[in-house]
Chains A and B, each alone.
Chain A
Amino acid sequence: GDSVTQTEGPVTLSEGTSLTVNCSYETKQYPTLFWYVQYPGEGPQLLFKVPKANEKGSNRGFEATYNKEATSFHLQKASVQESDSAVYYCALSGLPGTGSNRLTFGKGTKFSLIP
């Protein structure tokens, strides 16, 4: 079946430094790839998605490129701030209409600033 592996957290950084959360996936489908973010006390919310290989998604200063050859979808941000403290989930889904009904999530990576 499908699987997603991401950086094991927690990750702590100083404000203004760069963040990378690695994500690798395995699937026999042609997936859409997602990054979800979960703030304390809330449900996960979509950060962005990328349906096509070799394309980049971005939102709120975060970005990730769908690398089909490397089966990777690493999340990056150049300069982190307090408001970025959250849990980040990488996920994949088959294309709508292909019979895929679900998202497969990684285990999540918790990020926080060094106090």
Chain B
Amino acid sequence: EAAVTQSPRSKVAVTGGKVTLSCHQTNNHDYMYWYRQDTGHGLRLIHYSYVADSTEKGDIPDGYKASRPSQENFSLILELASLSQTAVYFCASRTGSEQYFGPGTRLTVL
């Protein structure tokens, strides 16, 4: 069974502050992804990575950075958090055509 974990599971941040969301997978998958989930928008791709030390922009990358220091770890960084970034964030890893999702991080920016 694929295992993707995320931390923290919930976070409250202040506007203008820096936020780092972490993702860890134990499946030796090459591809990892960050999505945000909002009511009415479903899942939207922010960044993804297919190898350590390399990241690619997804469909909504503005205001987000990503870091892939190792095959197992993939972080999403909000340098200057804004109210509009309040959402649930999901990390996923991929093997073949199937993606396996983590449990999500609920981020509230005040």
A residues contacting B by CB (< 8 A) are 32, 34, 41-46, 49, 51, 89, 93, 95-96, 101-103, 105-108
Interface residues on chain B, size class: 20 to 34
A-B contact count (CB 8 A): 48
B residues contacting A by CB (< 8 A) are 4, 31, 33, 40-45, 48, 50, 56, 58, 90, 92, 96-104
Instruction: Please state if B42 and A105 are interface contacts (CB–CB under 8 Å).
Output: yes
Q: What DSSP secondary structure best describes chain B's contact surface?
A: strand
Chain A: CB-nearest residue to B96: A96
Instruction: Please state if B101 and A43 are interface contacts (CB–CB under 8 Å).
Output: yes
Contacts of B41 in A (CB 8 A): 107
The 5 closest A-B pairs by CB, nearest first: A43-B101, A107-B42, A105-B43, A108-B42, A32-B97
Given A43-B104, A101-B50, answer yes or no on A49-B98 (Cβ-Cβ < 8 Å).
yes
